[in-house]
Amino acid sequence: MSSVVASNVSSTRVPSLPERYRRLWARRETIRYLTSASLKAGHRDKVLGHLWNLLDPLMFMLVYFFVFGILFGLSGGGRGRSIQFMLYILIGILTFRFISGVINQAANCIRGNRGLIHEINFPKAIFPVSVTLTRMYDFLWGTIVIFAFLALGGIWPTFHFLWLPLLVGIMLLFTLGAALIVAHLGVFFADTTNVINVVLRLLFYCSPIFYYVRPKSEIPADTAIFLVNHQTVHTLYMLNPIACFFELFRDALLWGDMPDPRMLLYTTLVSLGTFIVGFAIFSRSESKFAKYI
């Protein structure tokens, strides 16, 4: 009798976080398959296929450049300044499209796979992970446009370009953590997608995509808009990790500077914390998902 009780207790034991990480890692082939299938499905009926990964951010950038660079006169004078402002916008667009795209898709990634959730026992985290990797593929395509414009503007790689893989890795960690949290909420609250759309719209305008927030010697004083000049307000504004990612990428790629150490440390800690909290929340409740979808 005691052995039966012991076996029942062990079978209902909640796995620790390291065990859940290992189970997820064991399913890496499933993640690769889902990511590949999602990429193929996303471009199946498109004439230009994966070329849209280059054209989409390019067209968005041209629209914002026309409105803010030309109509509002923020690009300054000369071809070099115009290309510089295009790059400024492009880096912001690519980064925001990646983060917002992952979060938007993650909100419905569990409900959208209810058939698999009900029939197969596996780590449900593979769905938000797959969504994140799919959007990362699109982001990496977009960096081709960035490097093309850097060459066009005569901005040559510096030693600080080597920060790019680390910055992408930190952003990936943050976005995956946010995706896990949003996917968890999407299971229990059907209105999550609507709320997320409003929050992302607010973050879009509260992140420096088409306006400047930090003085730089490369920016002409007569064209730069500094939304937050006051130091205290600026510090509060930069608590937004998405704004920090914009500035870190621009430091390394556009301005040729070392990323701000304090900003880099802040985004690293926030990203790590977001991922750990997101994975813990998601994995502890995934056994209940089948009851709610």
Concatenating the DSSP letter of every residue in the chain gives -HHHHHHHHHHTPPPPHHHHHHHHHHTHHHHHHHHHHHHHHHTTT-SSGGGHHHHHHHHHHHHHIIIIIIIS--S-SSHHHHHHHHHHHHHHHHHHHHHHHHHHHHTTTTGGGHHHHHH--S-TTHHHHHHHHHHHHHHHHHHHHHHHHHHHTT----GGGGGHHHHHHHHHHHHHHHHHHHHHHHHH-TTHHHHHHHHHHHHHHTS-SSSB-S--TTS-TTT--BS--SHHHHHHHTTSHHHHHHHHHHIIIII--PPPHHHHHHHHHHHHHHHHHHHHHHHHHGGGHHHH-
Mean pLDDT of the chain: 82
Neighbours of 152 (CB within 10 A): 12
The top-scoring range by mean pLDDT among 12-21, 60-69, 110-119, 261-270 is 261-270
Lowest-pLDDT range of 26-35, 42-51, 174-183, 269-278: 42-51
13 in any annotated domain:
no
Evaluate if residue 222 carries a pLDDT over 50: no
Residue 264 CA to residue 276 CA, distance in Å, equals: 18
- In the predicted structure, residue 215 carries a pLDDT above the cut 60: no
Q: Is residue 140, in this structure, part of any structural domain at all?
A: yes
pLDDT, mean of residues 234-262 = 91
> Do residues 108 and 226 lie in contact, with contact meaning Cβ atoms separated by under 8 Å?
no
Residue 4 lies in a domain: no
Is 80 within the bounds of a domain? yes
Give residues with Cβ within 8 angstroms of 255, minimum separation 6: 216, 218
Return phi, psi of residue 25, to 5°: -65, -35
* Model confidence pLDDT, tens digit, residues 42-73: 665 554 556 777 777 778 778 877 877 676 66
Burial of residue 230 (CB within 10 Å: 0-12, 13-18, 19+) is exposed
- The segment with the largest mean pLDDT, out of 116-120, 160-164, 254-258, is 160-164
Residue 133 belongs to some domain of the structure: yes
The total domain count for the chain is 1
Residue 7 within any structural domain of the chain: no
pLDDT at 137 over 70: yes
pLDDT at 182 > cutoff 50: yes
Structure token pair of residue 37: 């299938």
The pLDDT assigned to 11 comes to 46
Dihedral-angle region of residue 5 (phi above 0 means left; psi in -120 to 50 means alpha; beta otherwise): alpha
Domain range enclosing 194: 30-40+50-292
Whether 35 maps to a domain, the answer reads yes
How much is the pTM?
Answer: 0.84
Domain membership flag for residue 23: no
pLDDT of residue 99: 96
